[in-house]
Structure 1
Amino acid sequence: MTQYITTHDAKGQSVYSNKTPTEPHAHSIPGGKLEILYSSHHFPPSLNTEADIDQYAHDRTHGMEGGICPSHGSAVAMVSFEPPAVSAWHRTMSLDVTAIIEGVMEAHLEGGEVRTLKAGDSMVQRGTMHMWKNVTPGNGWAKAVASASAIQQPLEIAGKTLETELRM
């Protein structure tokens, strides 16, 4: 996968940035890999300078504290699941939009509900405890693009304050 980032030159013309490597850095996750395609520590991000590109380049190389989504920003990632990967149960303090682009995934919620998502399907997660399972026929890989945006905190549901959580 090759990635390109656009910017502006000194004349205000649209050009491609040369500040980031063309290959996103892949982070190993249980059952696959995650590639950060972009991150911003401010929402909305300022595009008046290239400070956002510099921060993103740092995030790709060094990772981000607290997970994938900066606490006041947003991130986009490509997630690849090997067959027959099952993620840990987890909750993020972000609004996540996930679109399956290859394969078939089951999305499990802690309340017991399960949905099967295939290429072209999407899911919006609103701070919910969930788990992913790759059920692609023929032992195939599954891929998804996920966008995460910071949310107002604390997240209080049914009289409980929810936080980022990972159950192994």
Structure 2
Amino acid sequence: MSHHYITTHGDQGESVFSTKVPTEHYAHDIPGGKLEIIYSAHTFPPNLSTELDIDQYAHDRTHGLPAENPICPVDGTATAIVSMPPNAVSLMHRTMTLDVAIVIEGVIELHLEGGESRTLHAGDSITQRGTMHMWKNVTPDDGWARMAGFATPIAQPFEVAGKRLETEWRM
């Protein structure tokens, strides 16, 4: 089992490991896999003079992110691991976030609404700019696929081809 640690500062200002958050991994079910929040902050940049960001992250880790944006806090940032079981397929979706994802295990197809797709292998990355997309685990021999993702909310609503884009999930 792997672990996750957060650093902070002790009473004398020295660097220490936080004891506020369990180091064991905890993942939430999402369409097509599991989402494990590695870190979240509800402000960006976060204030590191206190540990309010760690307290909020501990809450997010056990209860999930707010319903208005389950991928990333509206005014903050999030880092997560997405694990997809063999042959899993996500819903076609758009989130109001700028995402950077890095495949760390397996092979994943990324399908876009316009019909294009790319196959990503371990070490490949993608910057997702609020576009409609779907993930499909195509790892050989019924293997799992994992991605590390870094999400930042899109600061303002935006329009493309005269249409205002919003978070969207399609069956």
Bin the TM-score by the shorter chain: over 0.9
Q: What is the match of residue 139 of structure 1?
A: 142
Within 5 A, what are the aligned runs for 1:58-69? Answer: 58-65=59-66, 66-69=69-72
Please, what TM-score do these two structures have when normalized by structure 2? Answer: 0.96
Runs of 4 or more above 2 Å deviation: none
Q: Which amino acid aligns with 1:130?
A: H
Q: C-alpha separation between the residues in 1 aligned to 2:25 and 2:55?
A: 14
Q: Secondary structure at the match of 1:58?
A: helix
Please, what TM-score do these two structures have when normalized by structure 1? Answer: 0.97
Q: What is the match of residue 19 of structure 2?
A: 18
- Maintained 8 Å contact 2:99/2:150: yes
Q: What is the match of residue 40 of structure 1?
A: 41
1:3-62 CA-to-partner distances (Å, cap 9, x unmatched) read 100000111110000000111321012232110000000111110010000000011111
Q: Secondary structure at the match of 1:90?
A: strand
Shift in Å, 1:76: 0.5
> Paired residues, what number?
168
Residue from 114, 117, 122 that aligns with 2:125: 122
Unaligned runs of 5+ in 1: none
Within 5 A, what are the aligned runs for 1:1-168? Answer: 1-65=2-66, 66-168=69-171
Q: Secondary structure at the match of 2:25?
A: coil
Aligned-pair Cα RMSD in Å: 0.8
Q: Which amino acid aligns with 1:78?
A: I
Percent of aligned pairs with the same residue?
66
Unaligned runs of 5+ in 2: none
